[in-house]
């Protein structure tokens, strides 16, 4: 058992209102630069739909992720020998281009025209303007939030691969206005345990940090092979056309290292996101990635270790994980939501990258028609009406407006049982809470039916609806003091590359010899 720490994340889709505050925060902090205009390290998609870039989930088209070949994993785009062969590098058709991200070109609007209007016969308008060529009045045919609130779902929904396993009629029926459903899917880089982008990077620029599992791309070492875009099944690395380097979500590591959550987590107004340390067994990652499709969710949960288990704690200490990290793992909200209560599910586990961003599938709404299960005034004001009404019974999952099959294809590689378990547990919690409020006595029978204890239920209610900032985000700081580089000699120099201790500029490396850590060269 080799215990590693990793930052895990959960998004509660039940509560996501698709406001894109996360997206805007991320954009303003990281990607409002030339060459990065079209990058959305965080974006919120509406499902059903084909997303950003177009059809990113369709691996027939983009060749991302891993495939299981017998007892081995292979990158779908090509194994190592294929990628090293001279036939591969000069042209790669499986790579999104600007047209797949933004139709014609990434655009802004001529807002200046609003500030300095000429006198005219009509109101001044802001016209679309390309952010690459500065050409105006370019056609707008796609964008990061093109499908917001199921706009155009009747067209793009036909290409949504998550309807697989349904008949054509059923698929089309779900896209009709009367039966349409939608929910939001906020996406950032999943910082996978088995990242295909890292595996596909020939130059070794993409890497996973050992301490916290953040996946980064070394800008100096990147040689622009762009295999990471092809191989990442979530299409989260982006090509910076100005610098010619690949960029991706950095999980705001400058913030995380100092104990603050990433900016998209921090800014989430719905408080749907939680962030914390997860301990996992590095030796069993491959085993989990090789599980049968049906077992993928279970296998991925299994390699997550119980931070209260004395054996795990001992192994973690032996592997150099500091005590405050173990403590953080014990208080971690994602650990409970993923492993303890089994509410959260990974996005597309069938890509076998073992994503560490887990989603709690959305519960609402239910199918209603006049006179049947439709909430009327009576229901809203008269809470003594438990048998029918807005609250779904545990055996009425078929009344879900969102087909379970769809959620299963999205979050459990088609295994409906995993999705049902999560949904039923959320439903049971509602019944339990309702029984406390309405009946005045807690209904533990409904909890027992879904395998939860009353303590679990209280914890879930707390975690999903009441949790404070410090409960949702338990983030131990990075052990900078253990690094060889001392902040003391770095002050005034950090960020100036030419003044790093290794640069040719002569620089004092030590003011005095360190008594505490004599092996350090820089103090």
Partner 1 sequence: MFDNFFFVGLPYIAILLFVLGLAYRTLTGFKTFYRGKPAWGAWGDFLWTTRSTGFFGRATIGPAALCLHWGLIVLIVAHLIGFIGGAANWGGWVSFFRWTGMFGGVLALYGACWAFVRRLLSAQLRAMSTLEDYIVLLFLIVTLALGLYHSIVQFVWGVSYPVGRWLVSLFTLQPDASWVATIPLTMKLHIIIAFTFLAYFPFTKLVHAFSYPLAYITRPYISMRRYVGVKK
> Which of 130, 145 has the CB closer to partner 1?
130
The total of other beta-carbon atoms located within 10 Å of residue 461's CB is: 16
* Among 50, 4, 10, 1, residue whose Cα is nearest residue 460: 10
- Return the H-helix or E-strand segment holding 217: strand 215-217
* Among 208, 193, 186, 191, residue whose Cα is nearest residue 265: 186
Part in contact with partner 1 (CB under 8 A); list of ranges 83-91, 164-172, 364-372, 398-406 = 83-91
> Which of 30, 359 has the CB closer to partner 1?
30
What region, left, alpha or beta, does residue 371 occupy, with left being phi > 0 and alpha being psi -120 to 50 degrees? left
> Which of 154, 209 has the CB closer to partner 1?
209
Contact assessment for residue 188 and residue 249, using Cβ atoms and an 8 Å cutoff = yes
> Does residue 352 touch partner 1 according to CB under 8 A?
no
CB of 245 to partner 1, least distance (A): 6
Among 381, 497, 506, 518, binds partner 1 (CB under 8 A): 497
* Among 401, 397, 373, residue whose Cα is nearest residue 385: 373
> Which of 86, 492 has the CB closer to partner 1?
86
> Which of 224, 368 has the CB closer to partner 1?
224
Among 90, 177, 468, 512, binds partner 1 (CB under 8 A): 90
> Does residue 71 touch partner 1 according to CB under 8 A?
no
Among 110, 243, 477, 514, binds partner 1 (CB under 8 A): 243
> Does residue 134 touch partner 1 according to CB under 8 A?
yes
d(CA 258, CA 265): 15
Alpha carbon separation from 160 to 52, 136, 253, 304 (Å, rounded): 12, 32, 33, 31
Among 1, 29, 67, 98, binds partner 1 (CB under 8 A): 98
Q: What angle do CA 415, 350, 181 make, to 5 degrees?
A: 60
Contact assessment for residue 202 and residue 191, using Cβ atoms and an 8 Å cutoff = no
How large is the greatest C-alpha to C-alpha distance in the chain, in angstroms? 82
> Does residue 14 touch partner 1 according to CB under 8 A?
no
Q: What is the CA radius of gyration of the chain?
A: 25
Show the site string, 136-165: x = touches partner 1 by CB under 8 A, - = not: ------------------------------
Among 184, 239, 341, 432, binds partner 1 (CB under 8 A): 239
Tokens of 121: 């016969």
CB of 132 to partner 1, least distance (A): 5
* Among 136, 138, 143, residue whose Cα is nearest residue 113: 136
Q: What is the DSSP letter of 397?
A: G
> Which of 90, 381 has the CB closer to partner 1?
90
Part in contact with partner 1 (CB under 8 A); list of ranges 82-90, 267-275, 311-319, 445-453 = 82-90
* Among 276, 293, 248, 237, residue whose Cα is nearest residue 95: 237
Among 126, 380, 383, 503, binds partner 1 (CB under 8 A): 503
CB of 207 to partner 1, least distance (A): 4
Alpha helix stretches (DSSP H) within 57-177: 59-62, 80-84, 98-102, 112-115, 153-156, 168-175
Instruction: Give the position of tokens 């295909």.
Output: 196
Among 69, 112, 135, 395, binds partner 1 (CB under 8 A): 135
> Does residue 180 touch partner 1 according to CB under 8 A?
no
> Which of 370, 498 has the CB closer to partner 1?
498
CB of 359 to partner 1, least distance (A): 24
d(CA 357, CA 346): 6
Give how many residues touch partner 1 by CB under 8 A.
Answer: 59
Alpha carbon separation from 222 to 78, 199, 226 (Å, rounded): 20, 14, 9
**Residues between 318 and 347 with contacts to partner 1, criterion CB under 8 A:** none
Contact assessment for residue 332 and residue 8, using Cβ atoms and an 8 Å cutoff = yes
CB of 91 to partner 1, least distance (A): 5
> Does residue 483 touch partner 1 according to CB under 8 A?
yes
- Residue 31 makes CB contacts below 8 A (sequence gap 6+) with 37, 39, 40, 41, 247
CA 335 to chain centre: 15
Among 60, 70, 71, 97, binds partner 1 (CB under 8 A): 97
Q: What angle do CA 66, 68, 69 make, to 5 degrees?
A: 125
CB of 320 to partner 1, least distance (A): 10
Among 133, 141, 149, 368, binds partner 1 (CB under 8 A): 133
Among 15, 27, 236, 245, binds partner 1 (CB under 8 A): 245
Please name every residue paired with 108 in a beta bridge, in sequence order, or none if there are none. Answer: 129
Among 67, 315, 438, 485, binds partner 1 (CB under 8 A): 485
Q: What is the DSSP letter of 339?
A: I
Show the site string, 197-236: x = touches partner 1 by CB under 8 A, - = not: -xx-xxxx-xxxxxx------xxxxxxxxx----------
Among 177, 381, 468, 502, binds partner 1 (CB under 8 A): 502
> Which of 141, 224 has the CB closer to partner 1?
224
- Return the H-helix or E-strand segment holding 423: helix 416-434
Residues that bind partner 1 (CB under 8 A): 80, 83-84, 86, 89-93, 95, 97-99, 105, 130, 132-135, 194-195, 198-199, 201-204, 206-211, 218-226, 239, 241-245, 478, 482-485, 497-498, 500, 502-503, 519
């Amino acid at each position: 058992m080799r215990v590693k720490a990793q930052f895990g994340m959960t998004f509660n889709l039940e509560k996501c209102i698709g406001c894109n505050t996360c997206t805007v925060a991320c954009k303003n902090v990281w990607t409002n630069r030339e060459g990065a205009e079209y990058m959305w390290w965080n974006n919120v998609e509406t499902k059903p739909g084909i997303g950003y870039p177009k059809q990113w989930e369709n691996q027939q088209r983009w060749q991302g992720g891993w495939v299981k070949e017998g007892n081995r994993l292979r990158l779908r785009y090509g194994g190592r020998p294929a990628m090293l062969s001279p036939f591969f590098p000069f042209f790669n058709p499986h790579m999104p281009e600007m047209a797949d991200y933004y139709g014609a070109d990434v655009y802004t609007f001529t807002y200046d025209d609003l500030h300095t209007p000429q006198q005219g016969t009509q109101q001044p308008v802001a016209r679309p303007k390309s952010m690459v060529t500065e050409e105006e009045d370019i056609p707008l045919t796609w964008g990061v939030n093109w499908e917001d609130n199921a706009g155009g779902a009747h067209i793009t929904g036909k290409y949504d691969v998550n309807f697989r396993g349904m008949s054509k009629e059923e698929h089309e029926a779900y896209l009709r206005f009367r039966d349409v459903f939608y929910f939001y899917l906020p996406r950032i880089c999943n910082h996978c345990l088995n990242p295909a982008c890292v595996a596909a990077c020939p130059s070794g620029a993409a890497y996973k940090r050992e301490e916290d599992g953040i996946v980064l791309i070394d800008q100096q070492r990147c040689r622009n092979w762009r295999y990471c875009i092809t191989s990442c099944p979530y299409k989260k690395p982006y090509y910076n056309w100005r610098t010619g380097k690949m960029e991706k979500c950095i999980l705001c590591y400058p913030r995380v290292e100092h104990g603050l959550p990433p900016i998209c987590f921090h800014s989430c107004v719905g408080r749907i996101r939680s962030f914390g340390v997860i301990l996992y067994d590095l030796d069993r990652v491959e085993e989990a990635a090789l599980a049968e499709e049906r077992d993928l969710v279970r296998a991925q949960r299994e390699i997550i270790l119980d931070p209260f288990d004395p054996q795990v704690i001992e192994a973690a200490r032996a592997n150099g994980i500091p005590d405050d990290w173990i403590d953080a793992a014990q208080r971690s909200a994602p650990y409970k939501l993923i492993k303890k209560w089994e509410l959260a599910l990974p996005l597309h586990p069938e890509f076998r990258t073992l994503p560490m961003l887990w989603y709690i599938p959305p519960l609402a709404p239910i199918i209603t028609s006049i006179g049947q299960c439709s909430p009327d005034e009576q229901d809203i004001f008269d809470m003594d009406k438990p048998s029918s009404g807005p609250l779904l019974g545990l055996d009425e999952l078929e009344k879900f407006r969102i087909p379970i099959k769809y959620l299963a294809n999205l979050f459990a590689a088609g295994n409906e049982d995993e999705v049902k378990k999560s949904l039923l547990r959320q439903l049971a919690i509602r019944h339990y809470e309702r029984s406390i409020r309405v009946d005045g006595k807690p209904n533990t029978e409904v909890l027992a039916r879904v395998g939860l204890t009353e303590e679990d239920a209280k914890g879930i209610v707390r975690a999903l609806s009441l949790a404070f900032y410090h409960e949702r985000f338990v983030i131990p700081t990075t052990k900078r003091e253990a690094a060889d580089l001392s902040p003391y000699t770095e002050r005034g120099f950090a960020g100036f590359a030419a003044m790093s201790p290794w640069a040719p500029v002569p620089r004092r490396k030590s003011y005095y010899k360190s008594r505490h850590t004599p092996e350090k060269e820089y103090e």
